[in-house]
């Protein structure tokens, strides 16, 4: 009999604006890995966790909002690096709150050690947790935490 605590979980991974430039954009802050490399490591980690990931990167706020809405009934959780929209988007905050799916916010850099305007996250109050400052490892830690949360 299948152990329901170990059934495959589907996670939507959202990457916000400018993350398509990873590997070339300010590597001293964001690291040298490309977005494709981060996505591959997430897929490998998901497999170890008996989960699946689907990923989307968009520079457009509305596309990210649409993806959050479309996650209902398809995914059990969301892992999001909203990039600069973290600090500006009430629309993303409202979409996450509206679908009520467990969501983890991740950032490659420690947003609290950067410019003052980056210290505020509109998303943080509606997610189950936030991980920042560990480079690409932030994504893996976020995925692990999210899958654990969903299974418990």
Q: Which is the catalytic residue, given 30, 85, 122, 139?
A: 30
Residue 81 labelled as part of a binding site = yes
Residue 113 labelled as part of a binding site = no
Distance of CA 37 to the CA centre of its chain: 15
Please state, in angstroms and rounded to a whole number, the distance separating the CA atoms of residues 30 and 114: 12
Tell me if residue 149 is catalytic.
no
Tell me if residue 69 is catalytic.
no
Q: Which is the catalytic residue, given 15, 55, 75, 107?
A: 107
Number of helices (H), then strands (E), in the chain: 5, 5
Residue 94 labelled as part of a binding site = yes
Answer for the pair 64, 103: CB distance below 8 angstroms, yes or no: no
Residue 118 labelled as part of a binding site = yes
Neighbour tally for 12: CB within 10 Å = 22
Residue 42 labelled as part of a binding site = no
Residue 3 labelled as part of a binding site = no
Kindly give, in sequence order, each residue whose CB lies less than 8 Å from that of residue 46, ignoring residues fewer than 6 positions away.
11, 52, 53, 143, 147
Please state, in angstroms and rounded to a whole number, the distance separating the CA atoms of residues 84 and 31: 17
Residue 103 phi/psi, 5° resolution? -135, 140
Residue ranges of the annotated binding site for substrate are 81, 87, 94, 108-109, 118
Active site residues: 30, 107
């Amino acid at each position: 009999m299948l152990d329901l605590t170990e059934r495959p979980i589907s996670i939507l991974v959202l990457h916000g604006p400018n993350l398509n430039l990873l590997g070339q954009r300010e590597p001293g802050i964001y690291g040298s890995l490309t977005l494709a490399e981060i996505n591959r490591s997430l897929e490998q980690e998901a497999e170890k966790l008996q989960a699946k990931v689907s990923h989307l990167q968009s520079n457009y706020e509305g596309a990210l909002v649409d993806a959050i809405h479309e996650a209902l009934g398809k995914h059990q959780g969301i892992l999001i690096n909203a990039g600069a929209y973290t600090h500006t988007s009430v629309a993303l905050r409202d979409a996450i709150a509206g679908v009520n799916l467990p969501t983890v916010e991740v950032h490659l850099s420690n947003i609290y050690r950067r410019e003052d305007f980056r210290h505020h996250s509109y998303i943080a109050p509606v997610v189950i947790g936030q991980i920042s400052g560990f480079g690409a490892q932030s994504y893996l830690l976020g995925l692990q935490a999210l899958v654990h949360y969903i299974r418990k």
